Amino acid sequence: MDEAPSLHPEVRETAGRIAAMETRGAAAIADAAAAALGAQAETSDADSAAAFRAEMRAAARTLHDTRPTAVSLPNALRYVLADLSGEDVETLRATVARRVERFRADLEDARKRLGRIGAGRLRDGDAVMTHCHSTDVLACIEAAVERGADLEAVVKETRPRNQGHVTARRLRELGVPVTLVVDSAAHRFLDEVDHLLVGADSIAADGSVVNKIGTAGLAVSARDRGVPVAVAAQSIKLAPGTLTGEAVEIERRDAGEVLDSATREELDVEVANPAFDVTPPRHVDAIVTEHGQFPPESVVVLMRELFGEEVAEPWHG
Ligand code: RI2
**pLDDT tens digits for 193-224?**
999 999 999 999 999 999 999 999 999 999 99
Q: Name residue 56's amino acid.
A: M
Within-domain flag for 4: no
* Phi then psi dihedrals of residue 276, to 5 deg: -140, 160
Q: How confident is the model at residue 308 (pLDDT cuts 50, 70, 90)?
A: confident
The reported pLDDT for the residue numbered 1 is 44
Measured from the CB, is residue 71 less than 6 Å from ligand 1?
A: no
Instruction: Write the pLDDT tens digit of every residue in 126-135.
Output: 999 999 999 9
Tell me: do 49 and 125 sit in the same domain. Answer: no
Measured from the CB, is residue 27 less than 6 Å from ligand 1?
A: yes
Atom of ligand 1 nearest to the CA of 200: 7
256: domain CATH number?
A: 3.40.50.10470
Instruction: Write the pLDDT tens digit of every residue in 46-102.
Output: 999 999 999 999 999 999 999 999 999 999 999 999 999 988 999 999 999 999 999
Measured from the CB, is residue 199 less than 6 Å from ligand 1?
A: yes
52, 80, 113: which is the final residue of a domain? 113
Tell me: do 102 and 15 sit in the same domain. Answer: yes
Tell me: do 195 and 131 sit in the same domain. Answer: yes
Q: How confident is the model at residue 4 (pLDDT cuts 50, 70, 90)?
A: confident
The reported pLDDT for the residue numbered 2 is 58
* Phi then psi dihedrals of residue 22, to 5 deg: -75, -35
Three-state DSSP class for 183? helix
Tell me: do 102 and 118 sit in the same domain. Answer: no
Instruction: Write the pLDDT tens digit of every residue in 183-201.
Output: 999 999 999 999 999 999 9
C-alpha–C-alpha distance, residues 88 and 47, integer Å: 9
Within-domain flag for 57: yes
Instruction: Write the pLDDT tens digit of every residue in 134-156.
Output: 999 999 999 999 999 999 999 99
The reported pLDDT for the residue numbered 232 is 98
Tell me: do 182 and 216 sit in the same domain. Answer: yes
How far is CA 9 from its chain centroid?
24
58, 78, 113: which is the final residue of a domain? 113
The reported pLDDT for the residue numbered 38 is 98
**CB neighbours (10 Å) of residue 239?**
27
- Residue 268 a catalytic site member: no
Catalytic residue of the set 132, 136, 140, 285: 132
Cα 276 to middle of ligand 1, angstroms: 10
Within-domain flag for 140: yes
∠ CA 59-64-66, nearest 5°, is 110
- Beta strand 286-289 with 202-203 is unpaired
DSSP state of 274: B
Measured from the CB, is residue 31 less than 6 Å from ligand 1?
A: no
Cα 161 to middle of ligand 1, angstroms: 12
Tell me: do 64 and 130 sit in the same domain. Answer: no
65, 88, 113: which is the final residue of a domain? 113
Tell me: do 104 and 122 sit in the same domain. Answer: no
DSSP state of 282: G
Tell me: do 86 and 227 sit in the same domain. Answer: no
Three-state DSSP class for 275? coil
Tell me: do 86 and 178 sit in the same domain. Answer: no
* Phi then psi dihedrals of residue 45, to 5 deg: -110, 30
pTM: predicted TM-score of the whole model, two decimal places = 0.96
Catalytic residue of the set 31, 136, 201, 285: 201
Within-domain flag for 282: yes
Three-state DSSP class for 297? helix
309 pLDDT above the threshold of 80: no
Tell me: do 94 and 136 sit in the same domain. Answer: no
44: domain CATH number?
A: 1.20.120.420
Within-domain flag for 81: yes
Do the Cβ atoms of 198 and 211 come closer than 8 Å?
A: yes
Buried b (16+ CB within 10 A) or exposed e, 12-31: eebbebbeebebbbbbbbbb
The reported pLDDT for the residue numbered 187 is 96
Tell me: do 108 and 217 sit in the same domain. Answer: no
Buried b (16+ CB within 10 A) or exposed e, 72-109: bbbbbbbbbbeeeebeebeebbebbeebbeebbeebee
Closest Cα partner for 301 from 313, 289, 312?
289
Lowest average pLDDT, out of 1-10, 76-85, 117-126, 284-293, goes to 1-10
The reported pLDDT for the residue numbered 311 is 85
Residue nearest to atom 2 of ligand 1 (CA): 25
Within-domain flag for 312: no
Backbone dihedral region of 6: left (phi > 0), alpha (psi from -120 to 50 degrees) or beta? beta
Cα 101 to middle of ligand 1, angstroms: 22
Atom of ligand 1 nearest to the CA of 137: 16
- Residue 140 a catalytic site member: no
The total number of structural domains that make up the chain: 2
Q: Name residue 217's amino acid.
A: G
**Would you mind telling me the total number of residues written for the chain in this entry?**
317
Q: In what order do the strands lie in the sheet with 292-294?
A: 178-181, 152-156, 127-130, 195-198, 229-232, 286-289, 292-294
Measured from the CB, is residue 110 less than 6 Å from ligand 1?
A: no
* Phi then psi dihedrals of residue 193, to 5 deg: -120, 160
Residue nearest to atom 5 of ligand 1 (CA): 212
Tell me: do 232 and 253 sit in the same domain. Answer: yes
Instruction: Write the pLDDT tens digit of every residue in 151-175.
Output: 999 999 999 999 999 999 999 999 9
DSSP state of 181: E
Q: Which domain holds residue 78?
A: 9-113
Residue nearest to atom 3 of ligand 1 (CA): 25
Average pLDDT for the chain: 96
